[in-house]
Amino acid sequence: MLTNTQPNKSSKASHTPDNVSIKPQRMGFEFGEQVPRYWLNNNYLVSHTMNALSVLFPEGEQFFVDSVRAFRDQIQDKKLKDEVRGFIGQEAMHSLEHIAMNQHVRDQGMPVEEMERDLKVLLDVARKLPKRHQLAITCALEHITAMMADMLLERDDVRDDMHESMRPLWVWHAIEETEHKAVAYDVFLQAGGTYTERAVYQVLSTAVLGIVSTWYTGRMALKDRRHFSLRESARGLWYFWGKNGAFSSLIPTWFEYFKPGFHPWDKDNSELIGRFKEQIQDYIAPQYKNGNRRTLQ
């Protein structure tokens, strides 16, 4: 039921543990009347925030894929090459599943097309940066998604707050974000990325993500203003940013990115992958039980 040593970077290209495989899997999630309007914590603000993040994924993950793909031909290590292929495939699957979720959000009267169009304009500006800087942005945002994924898999309370119709999507996404959390970073190291580049873009990327996700949440809340509640909004803010909040609890992990010797696998949470991957198999649609290898390559 979906409940409950720092590597020597000069010696090898990939630092993903050998017990972690990075393979794409289409799930075929469906979203309809069984999904309540406020599916997370039964809360107006919390649910709109996560819906807003879902809208960011298809365009955002295409940017991630493009930034990693730009350096694929420079990688000599076979293991990392294979992981890049798996990364591209997994991000493709994430886009497809979140497109399905975003259609559900669109059906609620939310301006999803407008938000996707605005995001593409912003990402097209980022695409004018040097390729390695684009990769640094991807590394920064992959750190944030990996933090959120780890939090979701570790915290029974957050998973239990999700309606059962939505929980499988977010747990599956968290599993795969954890599996490939170091791929972009390892490519960045191979491409000669510097500490300054990754530190600067972590600050900038976090700021832009915060602004855009807040803007999108606000747009959804405005569309849903007849259900607005000051009390529920305050409760939602506390849920994210209060003591041991879903987001406030991630602040120490965010700062770890600034350690000179940081690597995403400094925290080996591969045990969580094994625990939840077995459970998630029950949620694969029959037509995808044998896998789906469509990718964005």
pLDDT in tens, 159-214: 999 999 999 999 999 999 999 999 999 999 999 999 999 999 999 999 999 999 99
Query: In the structure, what pLDDT confidence band is assigned to residue 4 with cuts at 50, 70 and 90?
Result: very low
Residue 292 pLDDT > 60: no
Mean predicted confidence (pLDDT) in 259-278: 95
Tokens 């939090």 -> residue? 151
State the CB neighbour count (10 A cutoff) for residue 221: 18
DSSP letters along the chain, please? --------TTT-S--S-TT------------STTS-SS-BTT-HHHHHHHHHHHHHHHHHHHHHHHHHHTTGGG---HHHHHHHHHHHHHHHHHHHHHHHHHHHHHHTT--HHHHHHHHHHHHHHHTTS-HHHHHHHHHHHHHHHHHHHHHHHH-HHHHHHB-TTTHHHHHHHHHHHHHTTTHHHHHHHHTT--HHHHHHHHHHHHHHHHHHHHHHHHHHHHHTGGG--HHHHHHHHHHHHSTT-TTGGGHHHHHHTTSTT--GGGS--HHHHHHHHHHHGGGS-GGGTT-------
Mean pLDDT of the chain: 93
What pLDDT is recorded for position 226?
Answer: 87
Residue 3 pLDDT > 50: no
Helix 78-107 to helix 112-126 angle, to the nearest 10 degrees?
150
What pLDDT is recorded for position 10?
Answer: 45
- Is the overall model pTM greater than 0.85, yes or no? yes
What tens digit of pLDDT does each residue of 64-92 get? 999 999 999 999 999 999 999 999 999 99
What pLDDT is recorded for position 5?
Answer: 33
Query: In the structure, what pLDDT confidence band is assigned to residue 33 with cuts at 50, 70 and 90?
Result: confident
What tens digit of pLDDT does each residue of 213-229 get? 999 999 999 999 988 88
Residue 296 pLDDT > 60: no
Q: Report yes or no: 191 and 142 within 8 Å, Cβ to Cβ.
A: no
Residue 1 pLDDT > 70: no
What pLDDT is recorded for position 283?
Answer: 94
Residue 262 pLDDT > 80: yes
Residue 11 pLDDT > 80: no
Compute the CA torsion angle 157, 159, 164, 167 (nearest 10 deg).
170
More confident residue, 291 or 33: 33
Query: In the structure, what pLDDT confidence band is assigned to residue 32 with cuts at 50, 70 and 90?
Result: confident
What pLDDT is recorded for position 7?
Answer: 40
What tens digit of pLDDT does each residue of 113-166 get? 999 999 999 999 999 999 999 999 999 999 999 999 999 999 999 999 999 999
